[in-house]
Chains A and B, each alone.
Chain A
């Protein structure tokens, strides 16, 4: 699964630590999600979408083979 968290962060000009604080997780969790090492739960994805004020589908995207 691809994600555009880094892009969304850049748009808002915030660090991983700030995003982590806003949605109540650790910075390591944000980094692991950004790198594609960890797939977040629906709840966490929705929290991110709410924070970025964008649909979940624009932050997370399925890849061809998925």
Chain B
């Protein structure tokens, strides 16, 4: 797989993901507060549903309007996807064919693992809604974790081999 961005884009990508996490937490602040009141968030009854049926549950007085929440979540998603893509397409310090081999292996594994996670979520929480974009985001998160893992495993084996 070709990488097109210089190595420092990896750090910019990580910064974008960090911004995305912060924005996502701000956007979900009322959901967190509702979960605090209820003692936990429910996958079956989201915050929006609770707000539509105030007779069923005690609802909190929201800090943000629906439009603001949507805006925060959309911007967060944009930053997150951009950040992960920057990470995916940026070069390593020495970007040779061995690291490309590890990268390809990680992409294949992340495809399988994200499908397994999707299947597990659907089996355990059948009512949980997983939108397409979140599946793609999950795949990118899984890729980053697996790539780091594969790289550290392959490279640490090299170190051990050199020591012996």
Q: Which A residues are closer than 8 A to B by beta carbons?
A: 16, 24-29, 31-33, 35, 38, 40-41, 44
Contacts and interface: CB of A to CB of B under 8 A. Distances in A.
Contacts of A32: 98, 154, 158
Interface size class of B (residues with CB under 8 A): 10 to 19
Contacts of B155: 28
Contacts, number: 32
A16 B101 CA distance: 20
B161 A28 contact: no
Nearest to B97: A41
A28 B101 contact: no
B94 interface: yes
Interface of B: 94, 96-99, 101, 154-155, 158, 161-162
Contacts of B154: 28, 32
Given A26-B98, A40-B97, 4 more contacts: A26-B94, A28-B155, A29-B96, A38-B98
B39 to A, nearest CB: 49
B97 A31 contact: no
B84 to A, nearest CB: 24
A38 B157 CA distance: 13
Contact of B162 (A26, A31, A40): A31
B162 A44 contact: no
A35 B98 CA distance: 13
A44 B97 contact: yes
A39 to B, nearest CB: 9
Which interface residue of A16, A31, A41 has the most chain B CB atoms within 10 A? A31
30 contacts: A16-B162, A24-B96, A25-B94, A25-B96, A25-B97, A25-B98, A26-B94, A26-B96, A26-B98, A26-B99, A27-B158, A28-B154, A28-B155, A28-B158, A29-B96, A29-B97, A29-B98, A29-B99, A31-B158, A31-B161, A31-B162, A32-B98, A32-B154, A32-B158, A33-B98, A35-B161, A38-B101, A40-B97, A41-B97, A44-B97
